[in-house]
Amino acid sequence: MTTTQPEYKWVGTRPVRHDGLDKVTGRARYGADLALPGMLVGVVVRSPHPHANIVSIDTSRAELIDGVKAIVVGADFPVIGHDDSADAGEGVVDYRDLSRNVIARDKVLYEGHPVAAIAATSSTAARMAAEAIEIQYETLPYVLTVDEAMAENAPILHDDLITKGVSTSMGETNIASRELHEGGDLDAGFAQADVVVEREFTTKAVHQGYIEPHAVVADTGEDGRSVVWCSSQGHFLVRTQTAKVLGWEPSQIKVIPAEIGGGFGGKTTIYLEPLAVMLSAKAGRPVKLVMSRDEVFRASGPTSATRIRVKIGADKDGKITAAQAWLAYTAGAFKGSPVGPGCDCILTPYVIENFLIEGYDVVTNTAKVTAYRAPGAPMAAFASETVLDEIADELGIDPIDLRLRNAVKEGARAVYGPKFRRVGFIETLEAIKDHPHYKTPLGPNQGRGIASGFWFNGGLESSATVNINEDGTAVVVTGSPDIGGSRAAMAQMAAEELGIDVYRIRPVVADTESVGFTDVTGGSRVTFATGMAVVEACRKVVGLLSERAAKVWGVDQSEVEWVDGQAQHVLGAHSPLTIEEIADGAADTGGPVTASAAVNARGVGMAFSTQLCDVEVDTETGAVKILRYTTAQDAGRAIHPSYVEGQMQGGVAQGIGWALNEEYIYNNDGVMENPGFLDYRIPVASDLPMIDTVIVEVPNPNHPYGVRGVGEVGIVPPMAAVANAISDATGKRITDLPMSPTRIVKALMDNED
């Protein structure tokens, strides 16, 4: 990795995270770890059918069961219209759809769709009640894939769906929208090409796979206010969305963030919260709901299954002359797949004059998809980066050189519109090219692949408050749930600004009534945007501390400088005042020292990653072993390099799982067949090698420390990198994910024909 920036004392170092002790001793409280006196436990009754009308629900028998305190069904919730929608930070939310995903009203749209919820004094009683609720369904034909849903005469999910951007006639389609990016002259571009490669790809739905299932405790009072404790990627989002679904004002709900046990985008929406609040209101007691792993798989997440076609032409020097892409993504039961970002990201690393990209958002009778790390981009890159690799092969050009020849840099226009500011794509390519891994010799049945990826990163709204304690330590309060070490990064930036030791700073994540509004921890935005708010609040605090020193000295504030945690007189006329001394005497100089700042962060630094993968293919069994893996990513600046590396490594591991093992499998009844970690196999330690990281630092000029987001882009290249390595090892291009042993063996047998 590149060396730490010398000009900083804390930024770029690796302090032990402040919340670490609680997490290695078992003290940290996650979503399921709260118990309140008198608390009831609940279960959710879910549809066994992928598509059915609800004819009737009879809860009368269930209500008679001992210990059952409350039952809710769809009709207990207000009817909400489509026009009520808002940007939630990870895409637009249609509250009508959200409310019907939380609990079905007259129709169930996927297996696992909630139909009722029960709160009881014991889980045994709740489960007995679940059995006793009588629900009559009228089953309907269903569609699980984009092919089925887009077919003529396909069963229709929604009688009011239109294809946005194409047609206004309702109820005739499962296509919710069409995306289009067009530029130059496609035919002329392909005519200039010396080589054209066209391929079609499919990918399956995969789950974010956070180890902590969704969990919530709600305590609703007689005053119509509720306290909700849950783990999420944004407790303000939970507040807004829960209030919308209940028809309440957001201020009626206080959300207290628990520690979060992983999210990867999957906890940027709500599932259980409105049910828990409503059950608690009915029962007059706190209610806890926790999903089982089975429910997590069936009813939360996943990301889209896709079909993608890519055609790219290049001249003999490797310059891309034209590119065309067609993408269709499943949205699950309600519109809103990440096909938009898929279209935006698919060819964005390259300067392309002639292009046509079209995408389709397709509803299917599967769980509503939720954001998953760089939503929409990984499957798109799987397709485009594989085709590029084939072009490099055909032209006999090194795949890194091919990318260097076309790579975007400052001033280039992205296919989806905007012009790039300073970006570090080329630097990631060079970092991989210079890495010793690139020259390591390969053995028989071994192969090497490279791939690159792009992700926008996010800005959005963040708030922060900095309080100076009377002992001169500082509390940094934000509203961003810490999912992978962001509290440490906040403390490091604050330490740098305040000039005090990082361990004299306590970074905390506050509830919705103790800090200003803050968007989700998502879009790789926290260190960038919340970091900006923290830095701004710290600068205000430094101003206040300097003002207090000026008061003590009886001088003008312009004569005070803040250096290394103390006020110094510019001419040395007074001996310095430390932050401890100023804090101790704050009562006499104007009261407590505290400041807040809020941003709607602009000037996001976009992210690129280039990755290098070596595999060995067992030609008998089709098993693919990852031998070596190196990832280079532009972080702008790594505030805490260990956690930046952690994000890079984690993204790669998820991508390898997506490439080789992970997939939703449905049976003939439209029911998920592998809703557990035994059959939905995510990578374990013995599946992976060490994952080498190269942090490239091309600072983002719009952030005080140069930060770009780092959380997401790392998952964009792996599937293509692995596929390209498999092709190098076997000579076979695998175009369908996952590249499971059966699929590889089949591809190798085709070879022998």
Partner 1 sequence: MSRTHVTCTINGDEVEFLAFDGQTLLDALRDEVQLIGVKEGCSTGDCGACSVILDDMLTCSCLVFAPEVEGRSLTTVEGLAEGDQLHPLQQSFLEGAALQCGICTPGFLVAAKSLLDKNPDPTEEEVRYAVAGNLCRCTGYDKIVRSILSAAADIRETM
Interacting span for partner 1 (CB under 8 A) from 173-181, 193-201, 467-475, 637-645: 637-645
485 lines the binding site for partner 1 (CB under 8 A): yes
Which range of residues in 11-19, 74-82, 101-109, 429-437 is near partner 1 by CB under 8 A? 11-19
Cα gap 62→401, rounded to integer Å: 67
Size of the site for partner 1 (CB under 8 A): 60
Report CA torsion sign: 141, 146, 151, 157: positive
Q: Could you say which of 4, 8, 9, 20 contacts partner 1 (CB under 8 A)?
A: 20
Q: Provide the mask over 253-282, with x wherever binding to ligand FES is found by CB under 6 A and - wherever it is not.
A: ---------x--------------------
CB of 680 to ligand FES, least distance (A): 13
Q: Pick left, alpha or beta for residue 171 (phi over 0 → left; psi -120 to 50 → alpha; otherwise beta).
A: left
Distance between CA atoms of residues 194 and 158, nearest Å = 46
User: Which of 77, 95, 201, 264 contacts partner 1 by CB under 8 A?
Assistant: 264
CA 251 from centre of chain: 27
Query: Any idea which residues carry the catalytic annotation?
Result: 712
122 is a site residue for partner 1 (CB under 8 A): yes
Ranges of beta strands (E only) in 61-191 are: 68-73, 85-87, 92-94, 107-108, 114-120, 134-139, 175-183
User: What is the number of other CB atoms lying within 10 angstroms of the CB of residue 292?
Assistant: 13
Number of residues binding to ligand FES, judged by CB under 6 A: 2
- Pick from ligand FES, partner 1, none: which does 50 bind, CB < 5 to 8 A by kind? none
- Work out the burial of residue 667: count CB atoms within 10 Å of its CB; fewer than 13 is exposed, 13-18 middle, 19 or more buried: exposed
Q: Minimum distance from CB of 258 to ligand FES (Å)?
A: 14
- Label residue 145 left, alpha or beta by phi (over 0 means left) and psi (-120 to 50 means alpha): beta
Cβ distance to ligand FES smaller for residue 26 or 417: 26
Among 86, 188, 211, 570, binds ligand FES (CB under 6 A): 211
Q: Does 79 bind ligand FES (CB under 6 A)?
A: no
Closest CA to 350 of 407, 404, 296, 303: 407
Asked whether position 654 contacts partner 1 by CB under 8 A, the answer is: yes
Give the shortest CB-695-to-ligand FES separation in angstroms: 20
- Pick the closer one to ligand FES by CB: 262 or 741: 262
- In angstroms, what is the minimal distance from the CB of 615 to partner 1? 16
In angstroms, the CA 575 to CA 579 distance is: 13
Contacts of partner 1 in 660-689 (CB under 8 A): 676-678, 682-686, 688
Q: Quick one: which H or E segment has residue 384?
A: helix 377-395
For residue 418, whether the previous peptide bond is cis, meaning omega lies within 30 degrees of 0, is no
Residues 293 to 312: which contact partner 1 by CB under 8 A? 293
When CB distances are held under 5 to 8 angstroms depending on the partner's kind, the choice from ligand FES, partner 1, none that residue 209 binds is: partner 1
**Taking the complex as a whole, how short is the minimal distance between the CB of residue 135 and ligand FES, in angstroms?**
30
Q: How far is the CB of 19 from partner 1 (least distance, A)?
A: 8
User: Residue 405 belongs to what H/E stretch?
Assistant: helix 399-406
Residue nearer to partner 1 on the CB measure, 92 or 684: 684
Residues 6 or more apart whose Cβ sits within 8 Å of residue 316: 194, 195, 395
Environment class of 553 (CB within 10 Å of its CB; exposed 0-12, middle 13-18, buried 19+)? middle
Torsion from C-alpha of 289, 293, 297, 301, nearest 10 degrees: 60
Residue with tokens 């007691």: 285
Tell me how far, at minimum, the Cβ of 209 lies from partner 1, in Å. Answer: 5
- 338 binds partner 1 per the rule CB under 8 A: no
Nearer to ligand FES, 213 or 507 (CB): 213
**Is 570 near ligand FES (CB under 6 A)?**
no
Rounded distance between C-alpha atoms, residue 464 and residue 62, angstroms: 47
If we measure between CA atoms, which residue out of 555, 507, 503 comes closest to residue 530? 507
445 binds partner 1 (CB under 8 A): no
Using the CB atoms, write b or e for 250-264: b if 16+ within 10 Å.
bebbbbbbbbbbbbb
Using CB under 8 A, which residues numbered 196 to 255 contact partner 1?
208-213
Give the C-alpha separation, 300 to 304, whole Å.
12
Q: Which is nearer to ligand FES, 234 or 263 (CB)?
A: 263
20 binds ligand FES (CB under 6 A): no
Regarding 131 and contact with partner 1 (CB under 8 A), the answer is no
**How large is the C-alpha radius of gyration of the chain?**
27
Binding of residue 684 to ligand FES (CB under 6 A) = no
Region 600-639 residues binding ligand FES, contact defined as CB under 6 A: none
Considering the complex, state which of residue 67 and residue 262 has its C-beta at the smaller distance from ligand FES. 262
CA of residue 580 relative to chain centroid, distance? 40
- Measured from the CB of residue 262, what is the shortest distance to ligand FES in angstroms? 5
Shortest Cβ 515–ligand FES spacing (Å): 24
Q: Does 646 bind partner 1 (CB under 8 A)?
A: yes
User: Per rule CB under 8 A, is residue 573 in the interface with partner 1?
Assistant: no
- As a whole number of angstroms, the distance between CA 491 and CA 707 comes to 15
> Cα separation of 37 and 43, whole Å?
19
Using CB under 6 A as the binding rule, whether residue 21 contacts ligand FES is answered as no
Binding site for ligand FES (CB under 6 A): 211, 262
Which residues of this chain interact with partner 1, rule CB under 8 A?
Answer: 14, 16-17, 19-21, 23-30, 32-33, 35, 122, 124, 208-213, 259-264, 290, 292-293, 483-485, 640, 642-643, 645-647, 649-654, 676-678, 682-686, 688, 690-691
